Amino acid sequence: MFKTFVASALLISCASAISSFDSYKKSQKSNFTQEKSQFSDYKKAQQKAFSSYIKELEKYWKKPIMTSKKKLVSYAKDKKSRTIIDFGHNRLTIETLAKETQEAEQKLSLALVQAVTFNTEDFYNNDEFEQQLAKIEASHKIATPKIDAEPVLAPIFFKEQPTKKSLYHFVKHNITPEKIQIQKSSKIKTDKVYTLTISLPKDATIKRSFIYYEDVKREATRQQIPLALVFAIIHSESSFNPMARSYVPAYGLMQIVPRTAGIDAYYHLYKKKRLVGSSYLYNSKNNIKMGSAYLHVLYYKYLHHIKNPTSRLYCTIAAYNTGAGNVARAFVGTNDTYRAAQMINRLTPEEVYTRLLKDLRYSEAKRYLMKVRKRMKLYKKIYES
């Protein structure tokens, strides 16, 4: 009798547990579906804000320029001056609208001081468009953490924290008549466009990588992936532009796409599905954590049937750019990663690399694989030798 009672109790308990778990899964799915809907609304609000901001800039500039993967663009409050840090080409350009040279030199001097002393938090808080996006994120209940206050250009130009004296000499050296170009045509008839262009040091990219060394080392170790791989990915994705933004949209140092890599990485880290917004990914610690987690997911889960670690590494690099399904297509014509792994396991790593360069669907992914492999050797020499 007691055994029958216990058995019945266990059955009821198990049925209840299963029912509870099913309810939990349905609840999680329902919550995530709701989040996806909110994110879709958030994207529409973003696009509306973007169009509105571009129209505002067009009052002053013939060709508005916005932050992209490898450019950080900052406009003054009056929108009549803009700073363009081109991390991809190691170039700093400052443009201002002014009626005469003396006014232009004053505005260029102020913008130059800000450019070389601002940290990521300063750039974010000074960016009217990003502040609009932050309000949109908050209204859609998307996480908006504090942006890290990390240096951007100061470590490139100065060995130590710049002083008023060193800044004065820096500005005096760079703001000279022969370095300023003048264009008569402007959207404002009474103004001319004054442009100052400064080349960044050749080792600017490497110097910027030092800023993120501790974060990269920690996350690479945690996710059991090569430190040089994370650095090479950051270099290739954004050239260490902490506020990188692309049309996909993808955000930050490692160009995380919220609705794909972002979901997989967040689930791997926190065991729940969640969509994150741009400001979450502009936080460099979050971005490196998410990007490293996604590399772990690709290497140890999506592509884990590939036995040779070097072959799997090449496929992981390509998959970070184009997706694991497209990597599989290069070998078997479908997105079946298991079938692709069986073929890959019969090839040498160099044969796998050659096959990827030949048969990857997109040229961008082929170039990406070549760049990352080459840059891995560079960062391995710098940080692992």
CATH of the domain at 228: 1.10.530.10
Domain count of the fold of the chain: 2
Whether residue 149 is contained in a domain is answered as yes
Q: Are residues 196 and 302 in the same domain?
A: no
Q: Are residues 268 and 185 in the same domain?
A: no
Residue 42 has a pLDDT of 78
Residue with the bigger pLDDT between 116 and 135: it is 116
Q: Are residues 277 and 367 in the same domain?
A: yes
Question: pLDDT by residue (tens digit) across 204-215?
Answer: 999 999 999 999
Burial group, residue 242, by CB count within 10 angstroms (0-12, 13-18, 19+)? buried
Whether residue 364 is contained in a domain is answered as yes
Residue 36 has a pLDDT of 63
Residue 32 has a pLDDT of 57
Residue 43 has a pLDDT of 81
Q: Are residues 268 and 331 in the same domain?
A: yes
Whether residue 21 is contained in a domain is answered as no
Q: Would you place residue 138 in the very low, low, confident or very high pLDDT band (cuts 50, 70, 90)?
A: confident
Cut 0.75: pTM above it: yes
Q: Are residues 379 and 242 in the same domain?
A: yes
Q: What is the pLDDT of the chain when averaged over all its residues?
A: 90
Q: Are residues 182 and 254 in the same domain?
A: no
368 pLDDT exceeds 60? yes
Whether residue 323 is contained in a domain is answered as yes
Coil vs helix vs strand at 96: strand
125 pLDDT exceeds 60? yes
Q: Are residues 197 and 220 in the same domain?
A: no
Q: What mean pLDDT is predicted for residues 184-190? A: 84
DSSP bridge partners of 91:
86, 199
Share above pLDDT 70 across residues of the chain, in percent, rounded to a whole number: 90
Residue 21 has a pLDDT of 37
Question: pLDDT by residue (tens digit) across 232-284?
Answer: 999 999 999 999 999 888 999 999 999 899 999 999 999 998 888 888 999 99
Side chain identity at 140, as an amino acid letter? H
Both tokens of 261, joined, read 């890599």
CA 176 – CA 122 distance, rounded (Å): 27
Whether residue 239 is contained in a domain is answered as yes
Q: What mean pLDDT is predicted for residues 145-171? A: 93
Q: Are residues 313 and 378 in the same domain?
A: yes
Whether residue 41 is contained in a domain is answered as no
Question: pLDDT by residue (tens digit) across 19-46?
Answer: 443 543 454 455 556 566 667 787 888 8
Question: pLDDT by residue (tens digit) across 214-224?
Answer: 999 999 999 99
Q: Are residues 110 and 199 in the same domain?
A: yes
| Structural domain range at position 177 | 71-204
Burial group, residue 30, by CB count within 10 angstroms (0-12, 13-18, 19+)? exposed
Q: What mean pLDDT is predicted for residues 363-384? A: 97
Which secondary-structure segment (H or E) carries 285?
A: helix 284-297
Whether residue 254 is contained in a domain is answered as yes
